[in-house]
Every structure is written in C-alpha cells, then in structure tokens.
A and B are shown apart, each in its own frame.
Chain A
Amino acid sequence: MAGETERLSWGELLNPLTMGPIQQLGLLGVAGLFVVPVVAPPIRTIQLAGALFFATWVMSWDFVSGYTGEISFGHALFFGVGGYPSGMLNLHLGVDPWIAAPLGALTAAIAGLLIGFPSLRVKGPYFSLITLVAPLIVISVFRFSPDLTGGELGLVSVGRVEKLSAIGPIPSPGIDPFAGYYLALAIFLLSAVVFIAITRADAGVVFTAIRADEVALAATGKNPAKFKLFAFVVSALVGGFAGAMYGHSIGGFSPSELLALVVSIEVIIAAILGGMGTITGAAVGGIVFHMLRVALRNADTVSIPFTGIEVELVIPLLGVPLGEIYLLLFGLVTLGFLFFLPEGIVPRAGAEWRRRRSPEGEAVPDGGETAGVLAVHAWLDELRDLLGGDRR
C-alpha cells in the first residue's frame, strides 16, 4: 500500500518518457501540428489555422459543459462577445488589435459570469434554454445598431478592421499564412494547457462531482456555485480571446462566424464526436470536424471516400450539391454517434487500446460509462425531474 500512495513530484508527472502511451501519442500529435505548414500547401495551412481556432472553441465548451454537465447551447455568445468588442474598439476608436483582443476577452469573461449566474438557480434543461436564447438576443441587438456592428453582415460592412500587426521580423498573422497558423497554434496550445491543467487538478474532480450530484458535493464542503462560475469565466475568457484573435488574423467579425446558433451547434457536435468531458477529445474533434467541413464545402470535384460518390458530388434524387448540406450530414453522423458511440472517438480509442493491452479485463474506473454519456444522463435526469418523472 505504501508504494501506491507515495507522493509524485512534478518532474515525474510531466516527464514525457514516463507518461502513458496515449499521452505520448498526444504529444506526438502536437509535434506534428508544428510541422504541418512546412509540408502542406498554404491553403491547407490557413484551413488548419481555422481548425485550431475552432478546436479552441470546442475545448472551451467542453471545459464547462462536458465537465460540470451544465450544457450550454449558445457558447458562440462568448466567441462573439469576445470578438466584436475587440473589432469595434479597433474600427471605431482605433485601438491596436494586440490591445483590443485582451479587452475583448475580458468582456467575454464578464459575459461568462453573467451567464454562469442563472446556472446556480436554474436546473439543467432550463439553463440550457437560457444559453440558447442569450446569443439570439445579442444578434437582435446588433441588428438595431448596424452603424456600430454591421448587423447581419458583420463589421466588414462598416469598415476595415485592422489585422494584428507585424512584430519585428514576424509578419502579420492576418496576411502571412505561416504567422496566422502559428498564432492559431499558440492560442490552441495555451488554451489546451490551461484547460487540461485545471481539469486534471482537483478542480476537475469537483467539476465532475457537480455533474454527478451537486447536493452531495455541497455536503462534502465544496461550494458548487464558486466552481461553476469559475468554469464559466475561464471558458468565456479563453473562447472570447480566441474569437478576438480569430477576427484579427485569419477570420472576420460576423454573426455567421462568431455568434450564430449554427456555430454553437457545430461546437457541440464536434465535442460529441471527439468525446465530451476530456478536453483532448474536444481538441481532436474540433480539428477533424473543421477539416471535414472544409472538405465537404469545397467538394464539387473531389472524391469522398466513405460516401462512395466519385465525381458528381450532388446528392442523388435531391440534386443538392454536397457542399450545401454538410450540416445535415454532420447531424446524421452525430445521431449515429449518440446511439452507437456516445462517448466519442478519443475515449473509445483509449478504451480499445487499454483493452487490447490487458485483455483479461481490468475494472473500468468509470463503470464503463464515460464523461460524455454521464453528462447527457445527468441532463436527462434533470429534465425528467422537471417534467415530474419518477427519479428520487
């Protein structure tokens, strides 16, 4: 027993050579991301930069919803409330993007606090409705002041928002694909480190305990409200910062990029596909989802292996180009995942790997159900409570 309970030093914890094979594989993947622009054509590099921003948003959603089980249907609110103020500060007041972006992130953090508060009083599904409505309100408000926000079309219709400027020998990330890519990679990795550090530390234990049983958690002396608000603020801060940096580098400031419901939904879908409640699953899911979406959108001449469609990329019978219905396809795939692979790709791959290495079957610490499944179960239990079901 003594050997089991010895204290680990930070060096031991963070030494790549002593990590599990799955963690080592993750580090290898990160190393791969550094090399990509060297081997890939510039257009792919830019697309992958977009994927890294998107993956950052997916992680920011997973950090709150995957861990605490407070499912947000409107996380794009934070990307927009981070991005728009930054863009508007630059457009209307001439603030340098390098300064405006952190200010935008702070605005998003405040929004995180405001959205987090109802989660203290309102139960799961009702809270989800609040998060669903909040970005719709913001979009409507934006429509009333097109001089400031550009309304439907975004800031581009008001004027030119500056890109992040060049620093010394490093070219502007808004112009140079390499600079844009490495900026996105830096934000992605920084966010991943923040999210992984917090969720693997004691706070992660408390987050998942909120999902499991908030009343029982309070009975062990933890203040669930404090941890929930913390999760929302950190998630919004990171998501908002990524929103601002995206707008000032490879993207723009428009509702369809930063605020729209479809962005929130895509973020959730990517997290489900990758694996909820894992951060790493969200990261992988985000990158894969974005790249598949790009491939599908541009798929008029290219062949798609798993659909079997060769040249004519028009859905048979309907006559709709494949690129226009990517969300339908992803929706169907997500439905399939929810039924057959609810834990997502990354947790399943990890479980497969462990199973093959020790086929005699070691006890699964989570009882065979993974974070994503549990989050969905908790949410449905709350829904059942609200509707007068028979639990408790």
Chain B
Amino acid sequence: MSSEARTDAGSVETDRSFDPDDGLLVAEDLTKRFGGLTAVDDLSFAVREREILGFIGPNGAGKSTTFNCITGRYPPTAGEVYYRGERVTGAPAYEMVTRGLARTFQAFRPFEDRTVLENVRTALVPNELFSTSGLRGETRAEAIELCDRVGLGDALRRMPDELSHAGMLRLELGRAMATEPELLLVDEPFAGLAGSEIEQVSALFEELREAGTTLIVVDHNMRGLLRLIDRAIVISFGELIAEGTPEEIKSDPAVQEAYLGGEV
C-alpha cells in the first residue's frame, strides 16, 4: 500500500500505513502509554523476511517498550501487530514464541538456579504437561550443540552468575535459538561488549540469517551495527524519525538532531 514510503528512505511520511502482509512482522499505529507517559507513539513499521533490521534510538526512546508490546510482555494501548499476516496484537509471550518470534532480554534473565546447559535445555522442553524428553536425555544432545554454536561449549556446567557479560549474552542467544525462531529479536546485544566480541556475535547473527532467520537488532547507536544491518529504523521519543539503509540514516538530519550531533 505504501511501498514508496519504505523505499523513499529519509523522508518518512507521518501517516504511512502497512498491510498485514507487508512483511513477516508488521506493527501498525502501535501506541503504548504508561499513565500520562507515551512511551510509543503511533509507530508503524514492517520487517521483511530474512533481513537484519536495526532498530535504533537514543536511550529511553521506547525501543524496549515497542518490543515488549510486540512479544506479548504487555499489550499495546492502541494499534495492531501482525505476524505472517495474522493479527497477534496482545498475544501472550509464549504464543509469540510458538509462532516463531523469539527474543533476548537487554537485562539478561537467565534461570539463575541452573547451569548453562540446563538453561538451554529448559528452553527446549516442550510446552506440554506430560513430556519426558528430558528424563531420557533426548534434549541433552541438542542443548549441547546449541551451546557450542553460541560459543558456550566450554561453559556447559557453569552457573549463569559465573559467566562474563559476553557469556550471558551468548546464553540469552542460545536459549532464544532453542525455540527455533523465524524471527529473532535481539535487545541491545552490543552494549558492554569488546570489539572482538562484537565481531563474533555479529558473525553469529549473519550465520543465523544465512540459515533463514530474520533478525531485529535493537541498539541505542549505530556503532558496530553499520556493517551488520541491511536497513534501520530510528525512533526518538516513541516516534519514528527515519528509515533506510545505514548510509541514509547516517546522513539524515532528523537523526543527527535526535543525537545532538552525537555518536551516530
């Protein structure tokens, strides 16, 4: 319906709208208010299949709130969310995962009471009351393989609080990947990572995309994101201010203003 709005990057129309089928994930006029505070304001965007989308905005711009609304942590005040053309507005978190949308948490949320391996194994356990896959060791091999993939092969028996910051991120990723997502939402993965770690994690994301996964990478700036993402959406104070390729975003005056000529 509004394909020109998305291709014509840099000049974002305020009243653009999307069809539910315009992408793998479509948010339409998404709004979230907490009391008098409008954290997300009439936000619309679409995520295309197999892209790596950067979702960028200064701290407090409403990035996490947007994705908490989409992933079922809490329902939006207004607006709609579509996944694969189906309306999923306000669907509970576990249902979004079942549909294929997994997420990581910016403030890591491992199960503190169990090892790295058991954390991933817990994610592999099916959403069924009567299931014995774990008892007979069926999920164990799969969990070990996932830990290897995210680079935690040497830390299987560690407790989460013994992991480094990068290790915790890897655990978040491993646990999310265990749900076999089509769309993986990664919340602020690069904050607090060293340069080499950023490269390793970026390589993992590219590997996932090669395997057919769509990714949304949330970050508060574009550092480390430039080479990774295909496209970016920038929000500020809950509103969309720019959309386009990384180069287009970098030269966008609205973006520069939002960051006060800062770290873009």
A277 and chain B: residue at smallest CB distance: B113
* CB within 8 Å of A: which B103-153 residues: 103, 105, 107, 109-115, 118, 121-123, 125-138, 140-141, 144
- Could you show 13 A-B contacts with beta carbons less than 8 Å apart? A205-B118, A208-B111, A212-B112, A212-B113, A217-B122, A220-B175, A221-B98, A221-B127, A223-B92, A226-B127, A367-B113, A367-B161, A392-B107
B74 to A: closest C-beta gap in Å: 11
B123 and chain A: residue at smallest CB distance: A220
B93 with A202: CB separation less than 8 A: no
Choice from B111, B130, B159, B178 contacting A213 with Cβ under 8 Å: B111
Contact A201/B161 with A5-B141, A221-B127, A222-B125 known, Cβ cut-off 8 Å: no
Note all chain B residues with C-beta closer than 8 A to A25. none
Note all chain B residues with C-beta closer than 8 A to A324. none
Indicate if B72 sits at the interface (CB-CB under 8 A): yes
Indicate if A200 sits at the interface (CB-CB under 8 A): yes
Q: Which chain B residues have a beta carbon within 8 Å of chain A's beta carbons? A: 71-73, 92-95, 97-98, 102-103, 105, 107, 109-115, 118, 121-123, 125-138, 140-141, 144, 157, 159, 161, 175-176, 178-179
Q: How far is the CA of A34 from the CA of B216 in the complex (A)?
A: 61
A243 to B: closest C-beta gap in Å: 24
Indicate if A55 sits at the interface (CB-CB under 8 A): no
Q: How far is the CA of A284 from the CA of B115 in the complex (A)?
A: 28
Q: Which chain A residues have a beta carbon within 8 Å of chain B's beta carbons? A: 1, 4-10, 13, 200-203, 205-206, 208-209, 211-213, 215-224, 226-227, 230, 363, 365-367, 369, 374, 392
Choice from A9, A222, A367 contacting B159 with Cβ under 8 Å: A367
Note all chain B residues with C-beta closer than 8 A to A219. 71, 93-94, 97, 102-103, 105, 109, 175-176
B138 with A7: CB separation less than 8 A: yes
Note all chain A residues with C-beta closer than 8 A to B138. 7
Note all chain B residues with C-beta closer than 8 A to A217. 111, 122
Q: How far is the CA of A243 from the CA of B261 in the complex (A)?
A: 72
Q: How far is the CA of A141 from the CA of B132 in the complex (A)?
A: 43
A221 with B97: CB separation less than 8 A: yes
B218 to A: closest C-beta gap in Å: 15
Contact A220/B113 with A203-B129, A205-B134, A367-B161 known, Cβ cut-off 8 Å: no
Q: How far is the CA of A333 from the CA of B138 in the complex (A)?
A: 43
Q: How far is the CA of A8 from the CA of B139 in the complex (A)?
A: 12
B141 with A215: CB separation less than 8 A: no
A218 and chain B: residue at smallest CB distance: B93
A209 with B122: CB separation less than 8 A: yes
A226 with B129: CB separation less than 8 A: yes
B73 with A215: CB separation less than 8 A: yes
Beyond A7-B138, A219-B97: 17 further Cβ-contacts under 8 Å?
A5-B141, A7-B137, A13-B136, A206-B122, A209-B111, A212-B113, A215-B93, A219-B103, A220-B125, A220-B179, A221-B102, A221-B179, A222-B94, A222-B125, A223-B92, A230-B129, A367-B161
Most buried by B among A206, A216, A224: A216
Note all chain A residues with C-beta closer than 8 A to B141. 5
B178 with A201: CB separation less than 8 A: no
Choice from B92, B130, B131 contacting A218 with Cβ under 8 Å: B92
Note all chain B residues with C-beta closer than 8 A to A392. 107
Q: How far is the CA of A1 from the CA of B130 in the complex (A)?
A: 28
Most buried by A among B71, B113, B176: B113
A363 and chain B: residue at smallest CB distance: B157
B135 with A200: CB separation less than 8 A: yes
A4 with B140: CB separation less than 8 A: yes
Most buried by A among B105, B110, B121, B134: B134
B127 with A6: CB separation less than 8 A: no
Note all chain B residues with C-beta closer than 8 A to A9. 136
Sorted nearest first, the 6 A-B pairs with minimum C-beta distance are A221-B97, A5-B141, A218-B93, A220-B123, A216-B109, A202-B131
Contact A215/B109 with A13-B135, A201-B135, A227-B129 known, Cβ cut-off 8 Å: yes
Contact A201/B137 with A215-B73, A365-B114, A365-B157 known, Cβ cut-off 8 Å: no
Note all chain B residues with C-beta closer than 8 A to A226. 127, 129
A24 to B: closest C-beta gap in Å: 19
Q: How far is the CA of A13 from the CA of B157 in the complex (A)?
A: 22
Note all chain B residues with C-beta closer than 8 A to A202. 125-126, 128, 131-135
Contact A1/B144 with A202-B125, A216-B111, A367-B161 known, Cβ cut-off 8 Å: yes
B112 with A213: CB separation less than 8 A: yes
Choice from B125, B140, B178 contacting A5 with Cβ under 8 Å: B140
B182 to A: closest C-beta gap in Å: 13
